[in-house]
Amino acid sequence: MKHVYPPEEERLYKKRLQNVYQINYVTIQEYYDELKLNVDILRSITKMKDSEVKTLFNESFYNGLGKYTFGRVIELEFADFEDCFQYLQTIETKVKVRSKEMNESRNITNQKQQGTTFHHSMTFRNTGTKFCKLHKQCNHSTEECYNKYDKDFYKKNNITHNKNEQNYLIKERVNNPSRTAMLGKINDRDVELRLDCGASRSFIRKDTVIKLGLILKEATEITTVFGNGHTEHTNQSVDLEIRLESINVSILESLYVLERLPEDILLGNDFLFNNEIVLDYKNRVILVQNKPIAMIGRENIHPDEMDKILYERVLCIEEEEEMLLDKKVKEVLTEYIKENDNFTKIKMEAVKLFIDEKIKDHALTPHHYSVPLKYQQGARDEIKRLIKADIIEEHRIPYASPSLLIEKKNKELRLVVDYRKVNEFIKDEISTIPKVFESLYKVSTNRIFSKIDLKNGFNQIVLDESSRDITSFTLFGQQYRYKRVPFGIKSGPKLFQKTINTILNGIDNCSVYIDDIIIYGKNVEEHNKILLQVLERLKKYEVKINFDKSKFLTRKMEILGNIIENGMIKIDMTSIEKLINSDFKTDSKKDIQKIIGTITWYRNFIPDVSRKIISITRLLQNDSKEKWGEEQTKALQEIKEEIKNKAQLSLPDFTKKFRLQCDASDQGMGAVLFQDHGVISYYSKKFNSIEQNYSIVEKEMFAMLKALEFYRTLIQGYTIEIETDSRNCIFENKAISKRTERWKLIFNEFDLTIKNIKGKDNNIADTLSRCFLIKDSEKTDFFVEIEDLLETEENGIKKNKGKMIVKESKRYEFVRRAHEHSIHAGMTTVYYNINQMYHIRNIKEIIETVLKTCEKCLRCKKASRRGFPKYKITSTKLMDTICSDIFGPFEVSEYDRSSQCYKEKGYLLTITDVYSRFTRVFFLEHVTTKELIKRFNTWFTKHGKPRILICDNGKQYASREFDVFLKKNKINKIATPMYHPASNGISERLNQTVAEVLRMYKHNDIKEVIRLMTRRLNTNYHRGIQEQPIAIVQGYSEYNMSTEIGNHKPKIEKTIQKNEKSNPKNATKLADTVNCGDLVLIKNFNGGKLDDLFIGPFEVEKIGLRRLWYKIKDKKEWIHWQDIRFTKKIKNNFCFD
């Protein structure tokens, strides 16, 4: 007879079906039958289809399996349900037989224990407490859960459990290993703390929060994925204090709250990292702050075993047979570990601070900092700890410093006192702290190291009674003072350095840097001997060691951001990981200062670092409107790559000779200290305005002087060989100034010889010295761009008569790159740029072909044409005569705007030295006399004041204010004739180049366009002087860096003579006939088509430059000789300027 169930029972049986779990049944068949019974009942109530019944049964079966059994089923990928069920029955039968045989042979009755294992490596969860398979929680059992919802469930279904029976898919463990958990207290209640290395965060179950009486708070929302694929969102967290009484440690932690967490509390990697927790599975202990706690399930740790665990933890020995501590050192180290916690203060006399008596006359009223509610209890506990440790005491005096608490990475609180005001009345100690590299250089050729880190360094030094009042501080309205040297006091670091130096005085191969002690030896025996001396001396004075941060007997040592290994010093990448991995971009000057400070710390590793960061340091200028952009990002990226790939130096060997290469340029100097085995250090310096005025010989000797002073502590007393490419610096030369004579007295303090080398052999120092030369027109390395196009051989690049040979198949590509690098210069310029150093067959034909096919040149350049012979302006001295012109206005809107440009239109001011053709281009938003004066002052500061200025008659140049400025600086202005731009031919020709570059690089940043423009004008061959302008001014060539730039004077003088001869001769005929007082006709510049071409007559008042320009009476302007016609001679005298 078929049973019919009322519809209201549908909910009850659905719930029962969901609560059927395989673990609650003895056999898999019983589990199967119970599921089938409940599904059949639901089928009769809901009238489900056969397909729906089958789906419901399969889902319920799989969902009810144990976690790890289900995982094994998924792993085996059964084709259908029947195969899965048959497999489980087969395994069950095998387990029954095997279990029976084991019980009979061993006569052991199975006992119910925590933790079970599925046969064939199928493992079930090991909870160690009650567990409900329905809720995945440990606060109640599955049976209790059934009773809660239906107390008569088992009676109704006649289901009873025989305690002697067992689930045959489960096999008990005979040897149960300890769980990765420890016991602790929260709000005076015992809790089990489960540690999980696989979890990135720490969690607590919500009902546990309620049970412990914790307060919920809002947090950043996160999503957590459980091992079974379920997810849960939460935006709640709690702050709690975990008390580990067995080791007397309290930990403050913030945990996210989850409702379906399978553990009461689960502590993830954030907890492990923040609190420096180590899981020692070998000894089945958990090390918290270097103190061991037994894992749950393990017996208590015996004191002797604790020492052994700590010793193994502290002693970081490489697994090499010869890398072993001797027995004596082991005994001392083990004994030290036992007594270390008992050491609280160094056994030395109390120290006194040098306090200014004026402090009594000042009212030091502190600004009190409020303690956040979250930290108030922790702050009180920290005060109690410090009083108990005899570090502070309550006291009452008329003044105090404010204090606050900060949270460390491990969530502990640190008391910080703001001593800035009282530090003004504390005189610093005379003793000094050694420079970092001085400590590193002492390592020299030693290869075995140990590093000892001292714990709570300053607080180990007892403070004299007379010096304690000044350390007074307030917290929670109470006043305290330190009995030990506090952190933040002005002379604290030097006092501690002096104390440790005194303790370790007389021990060789031992360096101290505040709280870090480095021990080094050439071999293990020497190292162990020194380590023993250091440990015995520290123990004698009861100095507390931080063994968790100390490292013993290693070949690789990290110290203050540097790594020493195999005679090399490298940068510790972990110390600058944030810099290396970050995409730094900011306009904050404070952030920029931080990034420069980080780079400067490692400047010894990076040649030319000052120039490389010049675009970044420029942002710190007070008048700078520039913001962080692509140029700064590129510079920072270049430094990052050098740090990652090249940043390493060699340690000095004091048994060998030191070699020092020095070189100076116009604006800076460079030096490199090295020995046969490698470079020890780089040094570069930019000359100030006074040093830039030294003669060439003085600059070279000054470079030697600064290098010797910089490396004095390292090299003084050892043999030094200075290598320079300047013969005039050899001491045998008697033609030396008084300044250099004084410097020679300093040289006598060193055991040195000076050796002359060829310029090509002084590449490193030469490059460093020239790192400041190209500032406005940034130096680019042409050789790097074309290196892959050159012929090579075993010894390097193949050469023909000293010139590097370009690959036959790459000739056109080479010329194309050279043309683009020159910013699309013409035929003659490109030819002379590359012909001096590179050998290319049929070079002229190739250049002509490349230029004729260059699209940018065809679009933007005018066809060259030879016109009427022009007079060529010349000068016989560098920076003696300059010419200037204003280009514009032009549309700035056609270019990307830099931070310095806000207007729609802009102007370019050019200033050119006639002698060298060296040019600077300035962008102007407004063409005013004031702006011109500002730019000319910039030129005067960098290149000196000229004697003559050639310019046109623009209103800015002709203004009274500008004339006063020139007169004040004793500069003679020559204004070119009206309507005759060729009179200032240098500037006019330069304007053509300016226009070409502006046309070629539209839609680029105007600032970048000006930079390229300046490079085009200064770094390329100039036909007018037959040299590169930058080579004359700064002795540098982009295309010829490997050799010295020769003396350019003979070449320039020859060019001047040639230009004089090429000046037009028509002017001579006119000069012979026209004199002052004669009447002349001048060109009618403003006339119409039918007006007279010449008007007048006018009287000649003055005859100007080389009889080419004429001043007409009652007119301000000069007239060019080509615009004059002679009529009648009146006077017979000459008036020359």
Same structural domain, 249 and 186: yes
Same structural domain, 194 and 168: no
Strands of the sheet containing 562-565, edge to edge, are: 556-559, 562-565, 568-571, 648-650
Return the HEC string of 679-724. Answer: EEEEEEEECCCCHHHCCHHHHHHHHHHHHHHHCHHHHCCCEEEEEE
838 in any annotated domain = no
More confident residue, 243 or 319: 243
Same structural domain, 899 and 953: yes
Same structural domain, 374 and 497: yes
Q: Please tell me the distance from the alpha carbon of residue 309 to that of residue 301, in angstroms, as a whole number.
A: 10
**pTM for this model (two decimals):** 0.45
SS3 content of the chain, % helix, strand, coil (to 5): 40, 25, 40
Q: Please tell me the distance from the alpha carbon of residue 460 to that of residue 346, in angstroms, as a whole number.
A: 5
- Domain with 1123, as residue range(s), is 1066-1128
Residue 95 has pLDDT above 70, yes or no: no
One-letter amino acid for residue 968 of the chain: K
One-letter amino acid for residue 992 of the chain: Q
Q: Where are the alpha helices (DSSP H) in 711-762?
A: 712-715, 738-747
Residue 116 has pLDDT above 90, yes or no: no
Sign of CA dihedral 725, 729, 730, 732: positive
| CATH number of 1013's domain | 3.30.420.10
Q: What integer pLDDT is reported at residue 672 of this predicted model? A: 85
Share of the chain above pLDDT 90, in %: 3
1060 in any annotated domain = no
Average pLDDT estimate for 497-523: 87
Q: What integer pLDDT is reported at residue 1133 of this predicted model? A: 38
416 in any annotated domain = yes
Count of beta carbons in the 10 Å neighbourhood of residue 630 = 10
Same structural domain, 155 and 200: no
134 in any annotated domain = no
Strand partners, 516: 453, 513
Q: Please tell me the distance from the alpha carbon of residue 89 to that of residue 28, in angstroms, as a whole number.
A: 7
pLDDT tens digits along 136-173:
445 555 555 545 444 444 344 443 334 333 454 443 33
Q: What integer pLDDT is reported at residue 1033 of this predicted model? A: 78
Q: What integer pLDDT is reported at residue 125 of this predicted model? A: 35
Average pLDDT estimate for 267-281: 79
Residue 210 has pLDDT above 60, yes or no: yes
pLDDT tens digits along 978-1028:
666 666 678 777 888 888 888 888 878 888 888 888 888 888 888 777 888
Residue 911 has pLDDT above 90, yes or no: yes
Domain end (from 769, 792, 816): 769
Task: For residue 972, give the DSSP letter.
Answer: E
Number of folded domains that form the chain: 7
Same structural domain, 214 and 361: no
pLDDT band at 312 (very low <50, low <70, confident <90, very high): low
String of DSSP letters for 205-237: EHHHHHHHTPPPEEEEEEEEE-TTS-EEEEEEE
Q: Under a CB-based contact definition with an 8 Å cutoff, are residues 263 and 194 in contact?
A: yes
Average pLDDT for the chain: 74
Q: Please tell me the distance from the alpha carbon of residue 218 to that of residue 237, in angstroms, as a whole number.
A: 6
Choose the most confident range, by mean pLDDT, from 107-121, 422-436, 641-655. 422-436
Q: Which of 111, 277, 260 is nearest to 181 (CA)?
A: 277
Report CA 457 to chain centroid distance, whole Å.
Answer: 29
Q: Please tell me the distance from the alpha carbon of residue 410 to that of residue 277, in angstroms, as a whole number.
A: 10
595 in any annotated domain = yes
Q: Which residues touch 994 (CB under 8 Å, ≥6 apart)? A: 887, 908, 910, 921, 1013
End-to-end CA distance of the chain: 138
Same structural domain, 899 and 973: yes
Q: Please tell me the distance from the alpha carbon of residue 85 to that of residue 692, in angstroms, as a whole number.
A: 92
pLDDT band at 763 (very low <50, low <70, confident <90, very high): very low
931 in any annotated domain = yes
Choose the most confident range, by mean pLDDT, from 146-150, 259-263, 528-532, 1116-1120. 528-532
Q: What integer pLDDT is reported at residue 60 of this predicted model? A: 82
pLDDT band at 962 (very low <50, low <70, confident <90, very high): very high
Strand-strand pairing, 796-797 and 799-800: unpaired
Q: What integer pLDDT is reported at residue 166 of this predicted model? A: 44
H or E element at residue 29: helix 28-46
User: Half-sphere exposure of residue 165, counting CA atoms within 13 Å on the CB side?
Assistant: 11
> What angle separates helix 81-106 from helix 50-64, to the nearest 10 degrees?
30
Average pLDDT estimate for 671-676: 84
Same structural domain, 645 and 657: no
| CA distances, 1002 to each of 395, 778, 891, 894, 1033 (Å) | 73, 20, 10, 6, 30
Would you state the structure tokens that stand for residue 76, as one six-digit string? 């085996």
Residue 674 has pLDDT above 50, yes or no: yes
Report CA 223 to chain centroid distance, whole Å.
Answer: 33
Q: Please tell me the distance from the alpha carbon of residue 1116 to that of residue 1121, in angstroms, as a whole number.
A: 16
441 in any annotated domain = yes
Choose the most confident range, by mean pLDDT, from 723-732, 906-915, 1028-1037. 906-915
Q: Under a CB-based contact definition with an 8 Å cutoff, are residues 957 and 975 in contact?
A: yes
Q: Which of 465, 436, 256, 255 is nearest to 351 (CA)?
A: 465
Same structural domain, 532 and 420: yes
Q: Under a CB-based contact definition with an 8 Å cutoff, are residues 664 and 700 in contact?
A: yes
Domain end (from 614, 634, 649): 649
Same structural domain, 452 and 546: yes
Q: Which of 167, 60, 75 is nearest to 121 (CA)?
A: 75
Q: Under a CB-based contact definition with an 8 Å cutoff, are residues 581 and 644 in contact?
A: no
Would you state the structure tokens that stand for residue 1108, as one six-digit string? 């080419």
Q: Which of 30, 31, 168, 25 is nearest to 99 (CA)?
A: 168
Same structural domain, 644 and 666: no
More confident residue, 903 or 83: 83
Domain end (from 736, 769, 802): 769
> What angle separates helix 81-106 from helix 28-46, to the nearest 10 degrees?
150
806 in any annotated domain = no
pLDDT band at 204 (very low <50, low <70, confident <90, very high): very high
| CATH number of 618's domain | 3.30.70
Extended beta strands in 408-472, E state: 413-417, 426-427, 448-453
Q: Under a CB-based contact definition with an 8 Å cutoff, are residues 560 and 567 in contact?
A: no
| CATH number of 1105's domain | 2.30.30
Whether the bond between 889 and the residue before it is cis, its omega within 30 degrees of 0, is yes
Q: What integer pLDDT is reported at residue 964 of this predicted model? A: 92
Same structural domain, 645 and 716: no
Task: For residue 470, give the DSSP letter.
Answer: G
pLDDT band at 404 (very low <50, low <70, confident <90, very high): confident
Q: Under a CB-based contact definition with an 8 Å cutoff, are residues 983 and 977 in contact?
A: yes
Q: Please tell me the distance from the alpha carbon of residue 61 to that of residue 70, in angstroms, as a whole number.
A: 10
String of DSSP letters for 326-359: -HHHHHHHHHHHHHGGG--S-SSPPB--EE-GGG
Q: Please tell me the distance from the alpha carbon of residue 821 to that of residue 830, in angstroms, as a whole number.
A: 10
Average pLDDT estimate for 668-677: 82
Q: Which of 1039, 1023, 1027 is nearest to 838 (CA)?
A: 1039
pLDDT band at 919 (very low <50, low <70, confident <90, very high): very high
Q: What integer pLDDT is reported at residue 151 of this predicted model? A: 41
Q: What integer pLDDT is reported at residue 158 of this predicted model? A: 41
| CATH number of 219's domain | 2.40.70.10
- Of the ranges 373-377, 398-402, 619-623, which one carries the lowest mean pLDDT score? 619-623
Strand-strand pairing, 751-756 and 719-724: parallel
String of DSSP letters for 592-623: HHHHHHHHHHTGGGSTTHHHHTHHHHGGGSTT
